[in-house]
Amino acid sequence: MAVKDHEDRSRKLHFNAFIHGSGHHTAAWRQAGSTAGELLDVAYYQQLAQVAERGLFDAVFFADGHAAGDVENGPLWNLEPLTLLAALAGSTEKIGLICTISASFYQPFPTARMLASLDHISGGRVGWNVVTSMFDAEARNYGMPALPAHQQRYERAEEFIDVAQRLWDSWDVDAVVADPRGKYANTGKIRPILHDGKHFQVEGPLNVPPSPQGRPVLFQAGASSQGRDLAAKYAEGIYAVAYDLASARDYYGDVKHRILQAGRSPENVLIMPGLVTYIGSSRKAALAAQAEADSYLPVEQSLAQLGRYIQRDCSDWALDEQVPELAPASSFTGPAGRYATILRIVEAEKPTVRQLLGRLAAGGGHCTMVGTPEQIADGIEQWFLHGGADGFNLMPPLLPGSLEEFVDRVVPVLQRRGLFRTRYEGSTLREHLRPAA
């Protein structure tokens, strides 16, 4: 499907706030005044969610991992996100609440139960980012020597989603009667699912009545061909990695075509690339803010991070020489999306190793916009109107400052241009995501 410029000015942008530690810059926790000491304090996350809600974002999003990682060089995972979402539900009113749950490690029944419960608690604001996980260290915490092969992980994920959806559908919306003189529920409207599959055996039905959204909203971040197909079949929102508008358009067009081929409406599935922003009163000031953040970056840690991304030892690479030749994407067996982005950066910018490390320091190669609020809005508008994005998964490099700057300085510009909502029109996450009729 060819990507066409979007002339429909009734379309509105969508934003999720991707909350991660002290910020997505790997040295965010090292900077003066950082929030590193607050990462186990629920009030910190409540305040960030409230800032995003003030900015009328669709949702806050929390990724997750299942291994401690290199904790010496910075915080990676802290509070378990499903637990955290319950706390955020009580401290916000409208904003959606999304977290990652791995189909490689969890089971469908408890996952469906927890998400349905959170959807009740939040009044219909919960979303599930489906992942298949990335690292063997995570698998070893679940009794596996290594992750299963890519094909097997995606087969399991598809079956996992299918079972979860059937569990959510196992109660009719009017199954609960609550007649004090009769019965609580009409069992004729509650059905077992009797699933006997390759990866799961689940009798059902779910033991939670239908939640406000019926099914929590599904997000997915598909980069490989299998990932894109899974997203096209099930997702209502898709997180993407795109370095520039050209790569964003390629991804957008391909996935929208796959959605159509899956028998779904492409207009009802939002594609949201990651976006890192540095905002200043001038471009020079914004560049200075970016350089200040990068100045805290420890070289050894950064080389190790690059090595994880490209699955290669980079520890002896000369910082001020060009990046050594990398293997083609066709022979790379790790996470495909970010690797393709790194290849694109190297091809387009011909950076030194030091320059590449700085480029990857926040967001790992996602789109980075640096400039005034108006310049940031210009870039967002260009991607939105020219087939690159339906919105963005904002990845603030420093928290809370970068999120506050975006909400207070960029959002008003987009609103004045008619590109972003000025109020919430619905109360559930799905209502935030659906385009206006």
Inter-residue contact 301 to 26 (CB < 8 Å): yes
pLDDT, residue 328, reads 92
Q: Using CA atoms, how far apart are residues 187 and 100, in angstroms rounded to an integer? A: 33
pLDDT, residue 9, reads 65
- What does residue 113 show for φ and ψ, rounded to 5 degrees? -65, -45
What is the chain's pLDDT, residue by residue, as a tens digit (437 residues)? 444 455 556 899 999 999 999 999 989 999 989 999 999 999 999 999 999 999 999 999 999 999 987 777 777 788 999 999 999 999 999 999 999 999 999 999 999 999 999 999 999 999 999 999 988 999 999 999 999 998 999 999 999 999 999 999 999 999 999 999 999 999 999 999 999 999 999 999 999 999 999 999 999 987 888 999 999 999 999 999 888 999 899 999 999 999 999 999 999 999 999 999 999 999 999 999 988 998 888 888 889 889 988 999 999 999 889 999 999 999 998 877 778 878 988 998 888 898 788 888 887 778 999 999 999 999 999 999 999 999 999 999 999 999 999 999 999 999 999 999 999 999 999 999 985 54
How many other CB atoms are there within 10 angstroms of residue 27's CB atom? 23
pLDDT, residue 5, reads 53
Q: Using CA atoms, how far apart are residues 395 and 278, in angstroms rounded to an integer? A: 11
Q: Using CA atoms, how far apart are residues 374 and 34, in angstroms rounded to an integer? A: 27
Return the structure tokens found at 133: 């996980």
pLDDT, residue 76, reads 78
pLDDT, residue 435, reads 57
| Nearest alpha carbon to residue 420 among 6, 17, 14, 50 | 14
Question: Would the pTM count as exceeding 0.85?
Answer: yes
pLDDT, residue 336, reads 77
pLDDT, residue 6, reads 52
CA distances to 184, 195, 199 from 329, rounded to whole Å, are: 57, 38, 30
pLDDT, residue 335, reads 76
Return the structure tokens found at 203: 């009798």
Q: Using CA atoms, how far apart are residues 283 and 414, in angstroms rounded to an integer? A: 18
Return the structure tokens found at 206: 């779910």
pLDDT, residue 139, reads 93
Fold of 14-277+366-433: TIM Barrel (3.20.20)
pLDDT, residue 382, reads 98
pLDDT, residue 211, reads 95
Residues of the chain with CATH 3.20.20.30: 14-277+366-433
Instruction: Please give the radius of gyration of the chain, using alpha carbons only, rounded to the nearest integer.
Output: 22
pLDDT, residue 3, reads 43
